[in-house]
A = this chain, B = another copy of it.
């Protein structure tokens, strides 16, 4: 038997993933995957960009680990507080940001502080570094400061948050709460990893400033082009204090040398001349229509005793079923009846949430939203009675 490193024990296949794999080959209406709508991809613009970018061999050559200067300038220009390209590191999709941060901050056995529920991809990234988790509950404003403070007092120094239109709950952290959390991080010299891929997808409510604007030393911010341009380029970025970005750059160099020169040049070219500002208007309007349709369908078809969140942006609604229902065991039945979702228990690192589930309204058509929610509502009503 070949011998694996200890950390490999934390790398396991997901049974849920296997069930959801089935939905791709069938007539199932899926609210499971967190994919952006491919209808929104600006393929004409991308082709024009490619034609220009690929006429220069430099865009096919090796490049520097930090990322293409043109792309980092575009990011720095967008960002109010971090105005210099040296505050930015281009990464191969925001999942790589999580991996690099896990490498830099997590020793085996270290406690990583997260909301419960929290983003699954973050848990999988930190699992590899043999993290343990302190799962802090949230209220209407976001993660509870008392729980975070307790975790920091007990020695934790790394807090992962997804503050805008969170995956999986769709909830947004209040400005007051953000200040409280940043103050705690500075007091204990802990790191807040601010994962913010949906920032530009706000379609209602008021803008809330990111935590990176509230601390010059203790916040590491992660952005992504996946939801605002296209995910297939695998492009994201980290921004933070220069010494931290430098350390992460060296770690990235050992991990993949640099992110594709070609995809970076494509994105920079496609986003030039204010295209991003125009394009996100369309993306927001599209998702607002999708969200509203799903909220209407939920009201029409879900039985009393179920509740759900009303996101102000992003792609997700979080549903809480009557407490005796188990969304994980319900999934096979739902798939058999032609509708899929992600059971919420997945998102709780230390257990709980068995009566919760996540719905993505980003990819289904409006008619599919009606039909799928009706099917699911019927199943839940039948299971409750």
Residues of B within 8 A of A2 (CB): 157, 189, 191, 217-218, 244
Q: Mark A78-90, 1 if CB is under 8 A from B, else 0.
A: 0000000000000
Q: A262: which B residues are within 8 A, CB to CB?
A: 230, 232-233, 263, 266
Could you tell me if B54 and A50 are in contact, using CB atoms closer than 8 angstroms? yes
Interface residues of A in 215-263 (CB under 8 A from B): 217-218, 226, 230-234, 244, 246-247, 250-251, 253-263
Within 8 A of B (CB), among A290-307: none
Query: Given the interface contacts A96-B256, A247-B4, A247-B11, does A43 sit within 8 Å of B55 by beta carbon?
Result: yes
* Cα distance, A95 to B253, chains bound together (Å): 9
A189 touches B256 (CB 8 A): no
Q: Tell me whether A62 and B231 are in contact (CB under 8 A).
A: yes
Q: How far is the CA of A370 from the CA of B159 in the complex (A)?
A: 57
Given A1-B189, A255-B95, residue A260 in contact with residue B247 (CB < 8 A):
no
A 50-62 to B, binary, CB cutoff 8 A, 1 in contact else 0: 1100111111111
For A48, the closest partner residue in chain B by CB is: B54
A205 within 8 A of B: no
- Bound-state CA distance A303–B93 (Å) is 50
Which B residues are CB-close (under 8 A) to A140? none
Q: A41-B61, A99-B254, A128-B251 are in contact. Are A260 and B244 (CB under 8 A)?
A: no
Shortest CB-to-CB span from A223 to chain B, Å, is 15
Taking a contact as CB atoms under 8 Å apart, the answer to whether B35 and A60 are in contact is no
Q: Mark A39-77, 1 if CB is under 8 A from B, else 0.
A: 101010011001100111111111100000000000000
Q: Contact between A96 and B255 (Cβ–Cβ < 8 Å)?
A: yes
Which residues on B sit within 8 Å (CB–CB) of A125?
Answer: 254-255
| A209 shortest CB reach to chain B, Å | 22
> How far does the alpha carbon of A58 sit from the alpha carbon of B41 in the complex, in Å?
10
Query: Once the chains bind, are A128 and B103 in contact (CB under 8 Å)?
Result: yes
A350 close to B (CB within 8 Å): no
Contact partners of A103 in chain B: CB under 8 A: 5, 7-8, 128
What's the interface size class on A, roughly? 35 or more
Chain B CB within 8 A of A12 CB:
yes
**A110 contacts the other chain (CB 8 A):** yes
Near B by CB (< 8 A), chain A positions 1-56 give 1-8, 11-13, 33, 35-36, 38-39, 41, 43, 46-47, 50-51, 54-56
Query: Which residues of the other chain, B, contact A234 by a CB distance below 8 angstroms?
Result: 92, 256-261
| Bound Cα distance A253, B59 (Å) | 27
A378 within 8 A of B: no
- Chain B residues with Cβ under 8 A from A217's Cβ? 2
CA distance A274 to B217 in the complex (A): 53
Q: How many angstroms from the CA of A23 to the CA of B222 in the assembled complex?
A: 33
15 pairs across A/B with beta carbons < 8 Å? A3-B105, A5-B104, A41-B57, A41-B60, A41-B61, A43-B60, A50-B50, A60-B231, A92-B234, A95-B257, A124-B254, A231-B261, A233-B260, A260-B260, A260-B263
- A-B complex: 5 closest residue pairs judged by Cβ atoms: A232-B261, A60-B230, A50-B50, A60-B232, A38-B57
Q: Tell me the A residues contacting B by CB distance below 8 Å.
A: 1-8, 11-13, 33, 35-36, 38-39, 41, 43, 46-47, 50-51, 54-63, 92-93, 95-96, 99, 103-107, 110, 121, 124-125, 127-129, 157, 189, 191, 217-218, 226, 230-234, 244, 246-247, 250-251, 253-263, 266
Contacts A5-B107, A60-B232, A234-B261 known; list 5 others, CB within 8 Å.
A4-B247, A35-B62, A93-B257, A99-B254, A231-B261
